């Protein structure tokens, strides 16, 4: 096929959007129970596809499976952010109950620490990061994580080990 007949990345993404956006939004609405959240997440899913190469999008055999995987990863990321935020708000509330106010410096230090942790996780390969987050934040067992990621329990164990080594290397340096 000549390059003149090869669809551009924009054309492929446009077709994918037109063919599957409504379906994805309905799927997300059933998952989330909220039309507005589903619409936002569907849009974010397609925005994420902007960074996927044209060749990868053109070779999709099961676009709906790809879209649901991408949307599920975004849901996991969103849940992770909400848990971090909720934990911080609970800790802040507890501190206020004990008549200890949090100084702006302490508040900044907590935010910087959480940002550093999020950065550590962001540089981790996708599946080890997901396994680590599902284990630590969702308290899922290895078999449950394996079901979510579509891998065996032993692979989950390897992913979590990789994630822990990754965090250790960032925190203490490669040679530690």
- Least Cα distance to 87 among 121, 110, 120 occurs for 110
pLDDT of residue 176: 40
- CA distances for 135 relative to 76, 113, 120, 125, 158, angstroms: 12, 20, 16, 16, 13
- Joined tokens for residue 134: 């599902």
The answer, yes or no, to whether residue 51 has pLDDT greater than 50, is yes
Instruction: Share the mean pLDDT of the chain.
Output: 84
User: 122-126, 139-143, 163-167: which has the highest mean pLDDT?
Assistant: 139-143
Asked whether 21 and 46 are in contact (CB, 8 A), the reply is yes
- Least Cα distance to 120 among 167, 83, 79, 53 occurs for 167
CA–CA separation, 21 and 37 (whole Å): 14
pLDDT, tens digit (0-9, with 9 covering 90-100), for 77-112: 888 878 888 888 787 777 666 555 667 787 788 787
Q: How confident is the model at residue 175 (pLDDT cuts 50, 70, 90)?
A: very low
CA–CA separation, 7 and 16 (whole Å): 12
Domain residue ranges of the chain, discontinuous segments joined by +: 1-78, 116-176
Average pLDDT for 32-61: 86
Average pLDDT for 160-169: 86
CA–CA separation, 32 and 41 (whole Å): 10
The CATH class of the 116-176 domain is mainly alpha
The answer, yes or no, to whether residue 71 has pLDDT greater than 90, is yes
């Amino acid at each position: 096929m000549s390059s003149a007949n090869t669809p551009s990345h924009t054309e492929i993404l446009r077709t994918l959007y037109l063919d599957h956006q409504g379906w994805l939004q309905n799927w997300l609405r059933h998952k989330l129970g909220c039309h507005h959240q589903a619409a936002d997440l569907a849009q974010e899913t397609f925005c994420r596809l902007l960074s996927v190469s044209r060749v990868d999008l053109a070779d999709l055999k099961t676009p709906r499976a790809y879209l649901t995987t991408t949307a599920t990863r975004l849901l996991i990321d969103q849940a992770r952010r909400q848990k971090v935020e909720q934990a911080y708000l609970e800790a802040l509330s507890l501190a206020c109950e004990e008549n200890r106010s949090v100084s702006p410096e302490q508040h900044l230090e907590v935010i910087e620490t959480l940002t550093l942790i999020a950065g550590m996780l962001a540089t981790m390969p996708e599946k080890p990061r997901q396994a680590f987050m599902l284990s630590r934040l969702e308290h899922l067992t290895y078999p449950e994580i394996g079901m979510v990621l579509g891998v065996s329990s032993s692979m989950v164990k390897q992913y979590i080990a990789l994630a822990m080594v990754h965090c250790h290397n960032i925190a203490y340096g490669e040679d530690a």
